[in-house]
Amino acid sequence: MDPKLTEKRNGVRIDRWLWAARFFKTRQNAAVALRSGRVLINGRRTKPAKMVRTGDRLEIRKAPFRYLIEVDGLTEKRVGPTIAAGLYHESDESLTARRTLQDQMKAERSTSRLQKGRPSKRDRRLIERLHGRGN
């Protein structure tokens, strides 16, 4: 086990764990998500001071994604991404749903690409013809 990870008998505050596991950029963001019900522990809403323990199941909704995870390790300190990924494991159904949604969003983004900036001389002439102002 990594020395940065701690096994606490009583657990770790959920807002601190969510921050350490890199689900949220700040503890404040994690606390706001907990208070607003976007994070559930074992299917129930909770407060930021609730202690999370190994084996707890979390449902985290970060628009537009939904993570269903089980806690495998505890830490109070923010760790690197590779270590943070070892603190939990995500359910297969959650992973496939999230990847499908990512692919759909990527496809939408690539088809709705708009040209940026001013129209070129050729584009301007086509626009003028369309409006009946050109030759």
Q: Which domains does the chain have, with CATH numbers?
A: 1-92 (3.10.290.10)
Burial class (CB in 10 A: 0-12, 13-18, 19+), 36: exposed
Cα distance between residue 54 and residue 87, in whole Å: 9
pLDDT at residue 112 in the model = 54
* For residues 40-65, average pLDDT: 95
Per-residue pLDDT at 3 exceeds 50: no
Residue 108, H or E segment: helix 92-111
Report the pLDDT value the prediction gives residue 8, as an integer from 0 to 100. 55
Supply the pLDDT for residue 113: 57
Q: Tell me: pLDDT of 115 over 70.
A: no
CB proximity list for 106: less than 8 A, separation 6 or greater: none
| pLDDT, position 17 | 97
Question: Which pLDDT score, from 0 to 100, does residue 9 have?
Answer: 63
Q: Measuring CA to CA, how many Å separate 7 from each of 44, 55, 66, 119?
A: 24, 13, 27, 61
User: How many secondary structure helices (H) and strands (E) does the chain include?
Assistant: 5, 7
pLDDT interval class at 116 (50, 70, 90): confident
- Give me the mean pLDDT over the 65-82 stretch: 95
pTM over 0.85: no
Q: Which residues on neighbouring strands pair with residue 65, listed in sequence order? A: 62
